[in-house]
Amino acid sequence: MKYSAMLLLAAMGSLTVQAQAETEPVQERPDKQAPLPSFPKVADQTYLTPRPLSAIPEGAFGDKVRLGYQLFVNTQQLRDKYVGNELNCTNCHMDAGRKANASPLWGAYFAYPAYRKKDNKVSSFEERIQGCFNYSMNGKAPASGSPELVALSAYAYWLGMGGLMDEANISGSVPEISDAELVKGAKRDDFPLPEALAKAMTVEQRANLPGRAYPEIPKPEQAYSPERGKAVYVAHCQTCHGVDGQGQAIAGVYALPPLWGAQSYNWGAGMHRVNTAAFFIYENMPFGKSMQLTNQQAWDVAAYINSHERPQDPRSKGDVKQAQEKYHNDSDYYGVEVDGKVLGTEAYPIFPKKS
Amino acid sequence: MKIKTLVIGLTLCSGYAAAAEPSDKQSMNVIPQAAQLCVSCHGAAGEGIEPLGPRLAGLSKEYISTQLQHFQAGVRQNATMMPMAMTLQGDGIEQVSSYFSAKPANDVKPVLRGEQVVFNDDTARLAYQGDWSRGLLACVTCHGPSALGGGLFPRLAGQQASYIKTQLLAWQSGTRKGDVDGMMGSVANKLTVAEIDALANYFANLK
Give tens-digit pLDDT for B134-164: 999 999 999 999 999 999 999 999 999 999 9
Minimal-distance CA residue of chain A relative to B151: A248
Whether A240 sits inside 8 A of B140 (CB atoms) is no
Of B110, B152, B185, the CB nearest to A239: B152
The confidence score (pLDDT) of residue A126 equals 96
Q: Where are the domains of chain B?
A: 31-101, 122-204
The confidence score (pLDDT) of residue A34 equals 65
The confidence score (pLDDT) of residue A106 equals 98
**CB distance from B178 to chain A under 8 Å?**
no
Minimal-distance CA residue of chain A relative to B120: A54
Residue ranges in chain B assigned as alpha helix (H): 2-13, 15-20, 25-29, 39-42, 61-73, 81-86, 92-101, 122-129, 139-143, 161-173, 183-188, 193-204
Q: What dotted CATH number matches A226-342?
A: 1.10.760.10
Q: Is the dihedral of CA B122, B124, B125, B126 positive or negative?
A: positive
The confidence score (pLDDT) of residue A24 equals 37
Whether A290 sits inside 8 A of B185 (CB atoms) is yes
Taking any CB pair shorter than 8 Å as contact, residues of chain A touching chain B are 49, 53-54, 56, 66, 69-74, 77, 90, 94-96, 98-99, 235-236, 239-240, 248-253, 255-256, 286-291
Distance from CA of B133 to the nearest CA of A (A): 9
The confidence score (pLDDT) of residue B27 equals 55
**CB distance from B189 to chain A under 8 Å?**
no
Whether B110 sits inside 8 A of A251 (CB atoms) is yes
A33 pLDDT band, cuts 50/70/90, is: low
Of A90, A94, A290, the CB nearest to B181: A290
A122 pLDDT band, cuts 50/70/90, is: confident
Per CB-CB distance under 8 Å, the chain B contacts of A237 are none
Model confidence at A26: pLDDT above 80: no
CATH 1.10.730.10 fits B122-204, yes or no: no
The confidence score (pLDDT) of residue B139 equals 98
- Every domain of chain A with CATH number 1.10.760.10 lies at 27-207, 226-342
CA A250 – CA B148 distance, rounded (Å)? 7
pLDDT tens, position by position, A178-226? 999 999 999 999 999 999 999 999 999 999 999 999 999 999 999 999 9
Per CB-CB distance under 8 Å, the chain A contacts of B137 are 287-288
Per CB-CB distance under 8 Å, the chain B contacts of A249 are 150
Task: Please tell me if the domain spanning B31-101 has the same topology as the one spanning B122-204.
Answer: yes
Assessment of whether the complete model's pTM goes beyond 0.80: yes
Among A91, A181, A66, A185, which Cα is nearest to A130's?
A: A185
The confidence score (pLDDT) of residue A329 equals 78
pLDDT tens, position by position, A229-280? 999 999 999 999 999 999 999 999 999 999 999 999 999 999 999 999 999 9
**CB distance from B145 to chain A under 8 Å?**
yes
Of A77, A99, A251, the CB nearest to B132: A99
Model confidence at B100: pLDDT above 90: yes
- What is the residue type of A101? N
Please check whether residue A37 is in contact with residue A22, taking contact to mean a CB–CB distance below 8 angstroms: yes
Whether A255 sits inside 8 A of B183 (CB atoms) is no
Q: What CA–CA distances, in Å, run from A134 to A26, A31, A83, A86, A142?
A: 21, 11, 8, 14, 9
Q: What dotted CATH number matches B31-101?
A: 1.10.760.10
Phi-psi region of A169 (alpha: psi -120 to 50; beta: other; left: phi over 0): left
The confidence score (pLDDT) of residue A8 equals 42
Residue from A56, A232, A246, A250 whose CB has the most chain B CBs within 10 Å, to mutate: A250
The confidence score (pLDDT) of residue A118 equals 38
Q: Tell me the percentage of chain A whose pLDDT exceeds 90.
A: 85
A27-207: CATH topology is Cytochrome Bc1 Complex; Chain D, domain 2 (1.10.760)
Residue from B62, B112, B131 whose CB has the most chain A CBs within 10 Å, to mutate: B112
Minimal-distance CA residue of chain B relative to A292: B181
Residue from A287, A290, A293 whose CB has the most chain B CBs within 10 Å, to mutate: A290
- What is the residue type of B200? A
